[in-house]
Chains A and B, each alone.
Chain A
């Protein structure tokens, strides 16, 4: 099934994308409202929460170019040294730009 990208078609496609995204925004909470939260479930979701971040970043580093690796390394070092996210993020982005400019 395909939709032509006429005006009405594009509106339909955007509506489909918005609905699917809404299902993901609502779905996790909706399902949880039927579960009883035992300490074990709570431990599961707490650990999962920080694992989401790692699961996004690690493949990014492995599939990325030298700029990506520089960005993530510099962010790590700056964050561990200063414990402030904003300088860490800025330094990381600057590192990516610099490495890509040089190489």
Chain B
């Protein structure tokens, strides 16, 4: 048993820096949020209900999916299944941050995770790959993204008519372009490229043959397996320890 030592100290100055750093990205999130606000009111949610959903759920793709299922009645289990499947990538994202998060007290650790979302996670994970520990971006960046999501939803429910067809402006591609830019910004070793190929093929197979919304997790786990069996060169002395699995 290791004795817990919570050695990571969040720096408030860095939190503010990360808030500012993700501000430009958050402008795209405002547009995406406006598209959600519009979709939500069109499927019968009241403005305040759409806002409340954005404030508490803060997970765009699953919120869009929920509006597709909205009617005079909503079936609970299918709704839960869809929300879980779309957001199950958070499980993997959280797990990937664990080596850093374990150095925070449990209160701060789970507090930070309230703001965990694709964009701030991608920055933090990318920094970690490059040897920098950056949990401040989860907090500061998460805060600006959360506010942008709320402001965007608010704009969408009240002024959605201005944005009748967000797709024609390419706004449906914000997340995809962002994720791609983050992936390409990281280091690219042969090991990473093989993992990406495996991840791409597995996610395509899952997208084609497995239930909807499972492809992200399937692809990510398949890519992770490449890392499991193909270690980076440096920890040779640790090879014996890994054999038992």
Partners in one complex: yes
Knowing A1-B77, A10-B49, A55-B218, the reply to whether A24 touches B228 (Cβ < 8 A) is: no
Q: A14-B56, A21-B90, A79-B180 are in contact. Are A28 and B98 (CB under 8 A)?
A: yes
Contact A56 B73, beta carbon cutoff 8 Å: no
Question: Is A13 touching B79 in the complex (CB atoms < 8 A)?
Answer: yes
Minimum CB distance partner of B227 in chain A: A47
Chain B interface residue bracket vs A: 35 or more
Check A88–B177 contact: CB distance below 8 A. yes
Tell me the number of A-to-B contacts counted with CB atoms below 8 Å.
310
- Pick the contact of B203: A10, A20, A54, A75 (CB < 8 A): A54
Question: Across the interface, which residues of B come within 8 angstroms of A13, CB to CB?
Answer: 66, 74, 76, 79
Inter-chain contact B87/A24, CB cutoff 8 Å? yes
A60 to B180, CA, bound (A): 11
Cross-chain contact of A48 among B175, B223, B239, B241 (Cβ < 8 A): B223
A44-74 interface bits toward B, Cβ cutoff 8 Å, 1 = contact, 0 = none? 1111111111111111111110011001100
Given contacts A39-B241, A67-B170, contact A50 B180 (CB under 8 A): no
State A24–B101 Cα separation when bound (angstroms).
Answer: 16
Which single member of A29, A59, A61, A97 contacts B94 (CB below 8 Å)?
A29
User: What residues of A have a CB within 8 angstroms of the CB of B128 in the complex?
Assistant: 46, 49
Main secondary structure, interface of A, reads: helix
Give complex CA distance A68, B191 in Å: 28
Residues of A within 8 A of B186 (CB): 50
A63 neighbours in B (Cβ, 8 Å): 207
Question: From residue 215 to 245 of chain B, which have CB atoms closer than 8 A to chain A?
Answer: 215-228, 230-232, 235, 238-239, 241-242, 245
Give the CA-CA distance A11 to B37 in the complex, in Å: 17
Report chain B residues within 8 Å CB of A32.
Answer: 94-95, 98, 102
Q: Which of A3, A60, A71, A76 is close to B184, meaning CB atoms less than 8 Å apart?
A: A76
Is B12's beta carbon under 8 Å from chain A?
no
Q: Which of A1-51 contact B (CB under 8 A)?
A: 1-5, 9-11, 13-18, 20-29, 31-33, 37-51
CB-CB < 8 A to A53: which residues of B? 122, 179-180, 182-183
Extra pairs beyond A17-B56, A39-B241 (6, CB < 8 Å): A17-B62, A28-B90, A32-B98, A51-B226, A71-B177, A93-B169
| Chain A contacts to B: CB under 8 angstroms | 1-5, 9-11, 13-18, 20-29, 31-33, 37-64, 67-68, 71-72, 75-76, 79-80, 83, 85-86, 88-89, 92-98, 100-101
Q: Enumerate the 5 nearest inter-chain pairs by beta-carbon distance, A residue then B residue, closest first.
A: A51-B223, A47-B227, A55-B219, A96-B170, A48-B224
